[in-house]
Homo-oligomer: A and B are copies of this chain.
Amino acid sequence: MTPKKNLRQQLHHIIFDYDTIPAKAFDLVLIAAILLSVMVVMLDSVAAIHGAYGQALYGVEWFFTVLFTLEYIMRLYASESRKHYFFSFYGIIDLLAIMPTWFSIFVPGTQYLLVIRFFRVLRIFRLLKLVKFVKEAEFVKASIIASGRKIVFFLFFVLVTVSIIGSLMYLIEGEKNGFTSIPKGVYWAIVTITTVGYGDIYPQTVLGRTLAALLMIVGYSVIAVPTGIVSAEMAAMHEKLEAGRNHGESCCQRNARDPEARFCKICGRALE
């Protein structure tokens, strides 16, 4: 093994794994840096802060950009398949997150695109692996996936309802009441069925209000459906987990606990 290969392997371990102290430290420092850099972009977007500390924040921004550029180069260098990383979701985000600052040298104003950096916040999910939240995350993910098809069907239903009622409202209310086009009507219907209700557009005719009231009551009852789906799915998963947990207990003991068993179902021994 050449020393260079060793360096690359070491880097790969630090960057992509999370089971030794340096690997964990890298993840923690990276997440802290991402959160700080995002906070800087956030603060800089506030006019008053930009006015007072704009210069300083610009410096900090360059600091993080150089840091993330180094990180990007390291990742590219250390990854097993560079092509794979380059075209991966995170690879693209990592690149896009540093571009705007570099581009701002040539084209002023591109800095504005720094919000892309917010997508790097997704790396925070790596934290879950550090703090042993994986089981919980897996549970939530698994039950969402298990409910997936049913929820897609439900969203299907919502979208059809929303298109039909949105277009009817355009017909009923018309431009003078803010329903200037069918897409706006559909937007209103989504705002209403999800019970967000901004109040930027709302029906003003009697017929429109009646239809709106109907839509609200439907939306109110219909929210029960995805909740019911996920609840039932999670309850089912709970039972499976519970069953799994008992698995592997010393055989007769477990069977003895079953009030109805007369023979151990594992070893066939008669139970006392």
Contact = CB atoms under 8 A, between A and B. Distances in A.
A120 to B, nearest CB: 10
Nearest to A48: B181
A184 B181 CA distance: 25
B136 A167 contact: no
Nearest to A160: B121
Given A220-B223, A259-B254, A260-B260, A213 B187 contact: yes
A227 B232 contact: no
Interface stretch (A2-10, A19-27, A59-67, A151-159): A151-159
A194 interface: yes
B233 A228 contact: yes
Query: What is the copy number of this chain in the assembly?
Result: 4
A209 B180 contact: no
Interface residues of A, number: 104
B181 A194 contact: no
Contacts of A190: 213, 216-217
The 6 closest A-B CB pairs, nearest first, are A263-B268, A228-B230, A265-B265, A196-B197, A232-B234, A199-B199
Interface stretch (A75-83, A102-110, A111-119): A111-119
Contacts of A219: 194, 196
A270 B230 CA distance: 40
A4 B170 CA distance: 45
Nearest to A241: B236
